[in-house]
Structure 1
């Protein structure tokens, strides 16, 4: 029976919808495909469609099942339906819907108590890997778990896995046969423990509906109308469950954007979306291209990004049309190294905050979680709170905690070797190899460990006689300084974790070859195009302010051998310094730093910071250095941060040697960026002038 409260003649249900949104909302029952570009109001459209179907008497609220891919999206859909006066319609994730159904039908089909849900599968995967003699290191287990999830989502059995993995060229954590043996052993261990993983929820619910006719009839009598959001991300397993729900019926509305398919590694495919009209030739197709999220400047850039994609199928050729008032042009920036890039981003974030943009409306997005550390540190140094989404803080990661523990043990009896060599030797015991792994969790772990080596390199270059105990103390200080309060803050997130979200200001960072696109995607056209779509998703997260940046080297003084991402070519304004000629090698573009005394080239990090080569005499004013250190201690206490957060010892030495007379000469010292000058410049110059007086 139709809910009377919903069927009342509420005026204005379709008011405020644009013509395309209205066409989707009022389309008759039956197959409907909504091709919805980023920011085009798809959630608004499908919730109004549900409300219209109910008000028109086509279906009652309890007969509606809407599914999406995240609990956040499902919650937003339920909230909007309530606002429209719809109570009783189900809006859930695929897994939540399947779990409810399986619990309900389990006693009738199985007969005993429902099996418990396995929250995390690593322990059982470890038992399975141990049974077949494969490694049980954490990153191996994570990759094995991901591979099992891909196989189950793709409806691939352990017997079929080896041949399929070879055919589709999977990058497997072991031989395909070994992975299949772990997969098979995992299923046995799991079934013996009488527990289900998340993929089992879908598999068992599908099996119940396919194999038990009376159960299927009861379910299909209950649910008559189905809506699937983010349909471009459906897996073969989810599609099979959807088919079991439908049971040959066609009262189905799907909404998606093939340009935002970014989960192929997990089995997702846009094929069901792109082939929807082949399956349902009578389907109503509506294209939503009016972008209400982003300024025309951001929309134009997004269209350029996706317009360069190769072999785009017809169903993905959406061209966004900006509906907002004009805003600032996207900003592009190239930096010599990653710390400088991070400091510049932090300075720009501070400027946005000062201009009134809320911290929660700012996001820094990167390709992999290991990139977050530089931005956590840069934001901490200027006192900006942040939240890490979709990943732990750098120093909370398991591999970093393990490395720190090993380093502390080694520091108690330090070896008689130079610092960087000693650190590498310790980290080699916890997984740092000479060459990076090809990808996956192992590559992320390797990148995180390598960043610890870079801290050692920086310390060795800037602190004379730095040893392992001094290095461990430096790490402890950095870890202590990176614990901002859990209040409103700037979002740090990977591009994958940012899907479905939006902010007023977005910083897309680390846009260099090897990171965007990711190194292991190179040589695979399909993987490169998925990386392009991931970049497109990042661009379309921005409402107004968009910053795109990259660095030519990982660390200060390093060889500037990186190139900006191939996805940036054709996007930069003609007047941008990097627009015409890619800088591919260090030293071939722009002047090299020179000694301020003899004019010779500066090659080492500390030489660059001091502005003189090691052969020339020092001009250090030790009294000034003492005064600067006293000032730093006072300032650090006021800010409640370690002294290095204000300025490192090496930077103070450089100031005491060069004795800059104004802000311009102060900012020319390596390691002092605009944000530091803005915050501390006047005070430092006052200390210098007092010394001169």
Structure 2
């Protein structure tokens, strides 16, 4: 290609990119770290970098591997590359980490004990295996919950400990039980030719680390490696990326340590600094220009995240308008909070033209959605609830997928256990336990025992291979099921996946069962039709077969990849989005309402005693704040009820980190008040903690948090906070049935109600004493992410 022509194409490719974006796109001299702030165009940079490598540097697309955190991000990056490169992008490898590792193991996993048709177990499959192990070991699942044991197993795998290595490190009885379960769990997965998500990473690392010829194969295959959302990688993912790029050093990682919010998935934000230590001389490019948010929103977010230590410093800026101040509002309780949010969303539509589909309500825990769902239904406001029952988690879909999994991998015990009596075949739990006992005793998959019974039932003269203690009726039922599975496996060889789904639904009796269900049968059958459609759209590769590829794709679908709405609302409809902060990562909206800004919710009650966890909670809030393009609202409730418990809530410490100049506050009645003209106690008290005993605080002013007071008009209430002295004293009071009021004592005198027998000794409206509020904050288990 003539040089002037190449120069022209390069200029076209780089047109519209900022100077720093161009620098990130065109660097090809070794390792590159791109620190990309929220809304800074990182996906655009990655796509243009791929196009630059292919079009300007002549790198074949199949020599480039791009790894993302979610399937949604992979699709978006692939689509952008296709628009820039055209047909040349067909052979570009864009995958999630788990997707890439799955492909590696299907090709070379026999080195680490896996057959190519292995099954990927999800959370439910894992829990089923552990419950069975606990039963076999005679361990009470109430004392040792399967999810907690699986957490210990996951920790061990992410530390790269084998069951034996984990057992050597045990110090308590609970750890000893976890070690026994880990050993049995690994044995169960091995017999089933199955892996969990941690195994996909661990076994790939073991493969690349332990077999130099396999590592060299993939190092030669991929000359350039790009990794997105590097702050969300865990140590195993870091090591896999390191091994792949160790030879060429052509690795580009993109991330933002300020957006690392998945430590509970073993994500480690220090991987970004470790990257610089591992790949000496790596170039660092910081993308700090935001194309999303207003300057006010960026400054507010920066003021919060700036309180974290050890950061890679960056200060976001934008050429967008300065924008309106962040609105902070206090409501009396969660119902009032929901009502005020809906009122404001209506106002945004009328006054600013922001439609409901550009509005999101974000919260720390799923339980907070209830008040908003109730309010939306009451007011007739359409909404989509992210994190509802996902399509592939619906019962009928999981049942049919279990049949398909068993056809693809006859050793998949978890799949067999799910559908051996679905629809009902007269196979009891006792019968299944006997099948399991014999399979374990003989170290064979469950299906081997089932098919042996089926063989004998059909008149085979060879004696039974296994001795079972089952009644004739049970043997007949098990034999009939084995015959069904045999026919499905045989016929699957000549059918594509959609045809196999049809055959499975009818031959298994599942279709007849749904047709008899007059209440929900039609809806559930429609879900199976949608499953067929997804299989038809998916296609598949010939070398492994469509069925295995399809099942792999289903297993790897991320929980943050799709919006599951309430009331069958489509994404294109005018519906408000209700979503957790974790699920909101990667999304953006014109207006964002962050609700529940209270101690115990954000920051989470499980984090308040751990400085590192407080920093992650602050990063989580930062992620939420930077989802907003134009308007940002932050709400808290004075009182909140969960699971029948009610208590006064303290304002989140993070609110005090936002400068007053960036904030407009609003009281419960909706009257705006600019912070720099009328200071709010939320900002004047610069730290949040359980108040000291009253005797230690009487010198500050006449009123203290927790005092009972009476007002001539509002009645009795409880003091939330008090600032100032003398005639300048301002007292914030929660009045029963009237909400939260801020009163200047010089204009609205209050009378203190003594607690030793005067009228109104009882708490108004059942309010808890604010001085005890932090102690009363709710059961931690209900706040699981």
* 1:566 correspondence with 2:653: yes
* 1:74 correspondence with 2:74: yes
Structure 1 residue 162 displacement after superposition: 7.0
Tell me if the contact between 2:21 and 2:45 (Cα under 8 Å) persists in the aligned partners: yes
Structure 1 residue 498 displacement after superposition: 1.1
Go from structure 1 to structure 2 and tell me whether the alpha carbon gap of 1:336 and 1:109 turns closer, same or farther (over 3 Å shift). Answer: closer
Structure 1 residue 222 displacement after superposition: 1.4
CA distance in 2, matches of 1:162, 1:263: 27
* 1:52 correspondence with 2:52: yes
Structure 1 residue 331 displacement after superposition: 0.3
**Hey, what does 1:154 align to over in structure 2?**
159
Go from structure 1 to structure 2 and tell me whether the alpha carbon gap of 1:347 and 1:142 turns closer, same or farther (over 3 Å shift). Answer: farther
* 1:182 correspondence with 2:181: yes
**Hey, what does 2:34 align to over in structure 1?**
34
CA distance in 2, matches of 1:216, 1:279: 18
Structure 1 residue 491 displacement after superposition: 1.5
Structure 1 residue 200 displacement after superposition: 1.7
Superimposed CA distance per residue, residues 482-517 of structure 1 (whole angstroms, 9 cap, x where no aligned partner):
963333322111111111111111111001001111
**Hey, what does 2:310 align to over in structure 1?**
312
Tell me if the contact between 1:32 and 1:253 (Cα under 8 Å) persists in the aligned partners: yes
CA distance in 2, matches of 1:545, 1:78: 31
Give the alignment partner of residue 94 of structure 2, picking from 88, 91, 94. 91
**Hey, what does 1:349 align to over in structure 2?**
345
Structure 1 residue 592 displacement after superposition: 5.9
CA distance in 2, matches of 1:514, 1:57: 53
Go from structure 1 to structure 2 and tell me whether the alpha carbon gap of 1:139 and 1:175 turns closer, same or farther (over 3 Å shift). Answer: closer
* 1:145 correspondence with 2:150: yes
The secondary structure found in structure 1 opposite 2:636 is: strand
CA distance in 2, matches of 1:261, 1:373: 27
Structure 1 residue 244 displacement after superposition: 3.0
Go from structure 1 to structure 2 and tell me whether the alpha carbon gap of 1:274 and 1:600 turns closer, same or farther (over 3 Å shift). Answer: closer
Go from structure 1 to structure 2 and tell me whether the alpha carbon gap of 1:360 and 1:534 turns closer, same or farther (over 3 Å shift). Answer: same
Structure 1 residue 208 displacement after superposition: 2.5
Moved more, 316-325 or 139-148: 139-148
Structure 1 residue 134 displacement after superposition: 4.3
**Hey, what does 2:466 align to over in structure 1?**
none
**Hey, what does 1:520 align to over in structure 2?**
606
**Hey, what does 2:325 align to over in structure 1?**
329
Structure 1 residue 546 displacement after superposition: 0.5
Superimposed CA distance per residue, residues 412-433 of structure 1 (whole angstroms, 9 cap, x where no aligned partner):
xxxxxxxxxxxxxxxxxxxxxx
CA distance in 1, matches of 2:301, 2:218: 42
Tell me if the contact between 2:119 and 2:193 (Cα under 8 Å) persists in the aligned partners: yes
Go from structure 1 to structure 2 and tell me whether the alpha carbon gap of 1:356 and 1:111 turns closer, same or farther (over 3 Å shift). Answer: closer
Superimposed CA distance per residue, residues 399-443 of structure 1 (whole angstroms, 9 cap, x where no aligned partner):
xxxxxxxxxxxxxxxxxxxxxxxxxxxxxxxxxxxxxxxxxxxxx
CA distance in 2, matches of 1:159, 1:511: 45
Superimposed CA distance per residue, residues 104-129 of structure 1 (whole angstroms, 9 cap, x where no aligned partner):
23468868553222233221122233
Superimposed CA distance per residue, residues 622-660 of structure 1 (whole angstroms, 9 cap, x where no aligned partner):
xxxxxxxxxxxxxxxxxxxxxxxxxxxxxxxxxxxxxxx
Q: What is the number of equivalent residue pairs in this alignment?
A: 510
**Hey, what does 1:491 align to over in structure 2?**
577
The secondary structure found in structure 1 opposite 2:28 is: coil
**Hey, what does 1:303 align to over in structure 2?**
302
**Hey, what does 2:681 align to over in structure 1?**
578
Go from structure 1 to structure 2 and tell me whether the alpha carbon gap of 1:609 and 1:128 turns closer, same or farther (over 3 Å shift). Answer: same
Go from structure 1 to structure 2 and tell me whether the alpha carbon gap of 1:202 and 1:175 turns closer, same or farther (over 3 Å shift). Answer: same
The secondary structure found in structure 2 opposite 1:285 is: strand
Tell me if the contact between 2:111 and 2:207 (Cα under 8 Å) persists in the aligned partners: no
Tell me if the contact between 1:7 and 1:55 (Cα under 8 Å) persists in the aligned partners: no
**Hey, what does 1:239 align to over in structure 2?**
238
**Hey, what does 1:248 align to over in structure 2?**
247
Please, which runs of 5 or more residues in structure 1 have no aligned partner? Answer: 167-171, 399-481, 612-693
Tell me if the contact between 1:380 and 1:484 (Cα under 8 Å) persists in the aligned partners: no
Tell me if the contact between 2:385 and 2:566 (Cα under 8 Å) persists in the aligned partners: no
Please, which runs of 5 or more residues in structure 2 have no aligned partner? Answer: 396-564, 661-674, 692-702, 719-734, 740-785
CA distance in 2, matches of 1:35, 1:165: 39
Tell me if the contact between 1:593 and 1:608 (Cα under 8 Å) persists in the aligned partners: no
The secondary structure found in structure 1 opposite 2:650 is: coil
Go from structure 1 to structure 2 and tell me whether the alpha carbon gap of 1:301 and 1:113 turns closer, same or farther (over 3 Å shift). Answer: closer
CA distance in 1, matches of 2:738, 2:35: 58
Structure 1 residue 132 displacement after superposition: 4.1
The secondary structure found in structure 1 opposite 2:591 is: strand
**Hey, what does 1:435 align to over in structure 2?**
none
Tell me if the contact between 1:232 and 1:256 (Cα under 8 Å) persists in the aligned partners: yes
**Hey, what does 2:463 align to over in structure 1?**
none
Moved more, 552-561 or 362-371: 552-561
Structure 1 residue 137 displacement after superposition: 5.7
User: Which aligned pairs between 1:145-294 and structure 2 lie closer than 5 A?
Assistant: 145-161=150-166, 175-294=174-293
Superimposed CA distance per residue, residues 450-501 of structure 1 (whole angstroms, 9 cap, x where no aligned partner):
xxxxxxxxxxxxxxxxxxxxxxxxxxxxxxxx96333332211111111111
Tell me if the contact between 1:128 and 1:183 (Cα under 8 Å) persists in the aligned partners: no
* 1:529 correspondence with 2:632: no
Structure 1 residue 279 displacement after superposition: 2.0
Q: What is the RMSD computed on CA atoms of the aligned residues?
A: 3.6
**Hey, what does 2:631 align to over in structure 1?**
545
Structure 1 residue 589 displacement after superposition: 8.0
CA distance in 2, matches of 1:349, 1:47: 35
Tell me if the contact between 1:107 and 1:114 (Cα under 8 Å) persists in the aligned partners: no
Tell me if the contact between 1:29 and 1:58 (Cα under 8 Å) persists in the aligned partners: no
CA distance in 2, matches of 1:213, 1:610: 72
Tell me if the contact between 2:106 and 2:115 (Cα under 8 Å) persists in the aligned partners: no
Tell me if the contact between 2:105 and 2:116 (Cα under 8 Å) persists in the aligned partners: no
Go from structure 1 to structure 2 and tell me whether the alpha carbon gap of 1:278 and 1:380 turns closer, same or farther (over 3 Å shift). Answer: same
Superimposed CA distance per residue, residues 357-386 of structure 1 (whole angstroms, 9 cap, x where no aligned partner):
232221111111111111111222211111
**Hey, what does 2:371 align to over in structure 1?**
374
Go from structure 1 to structure 2 and tell me whether the alpha carbon gap of 1:351 and 1:49 turns closer, same or farther (over 3 Å shift). Answer: same
Superimposed CA distance per residue, residues 286-325 of structure 1 (whole angstroms, 9 cap, x where no aligned partner):
111111110101001011011122x224xx2111112212
**Hey, what does 1:675 align to over in structure 2?**
none
Structure 1 residue 93 displacement after superposition: 0.3
**Hey, what does 1:365 align to over in structure 2?**
362
Go from structure 1 to structure 2 and tell me whether the alpha carbon gap of 1:158 and 1:495 turns closer, same or farther (over 3 Å shift). Answer: farther
**Hey, what does 2:382 align to over in structure 1?**
385
Go from structure 1 to structure 2 and tell me whether the alpha carbon gap of 1:134 and 1:502 turns closer, same or farther (over 3 Å shift). Answer: farther
TM-score, normalization: structure 2?
Answer: 0.60
Structure 1 residue 84 displacement after superposition: 0.8
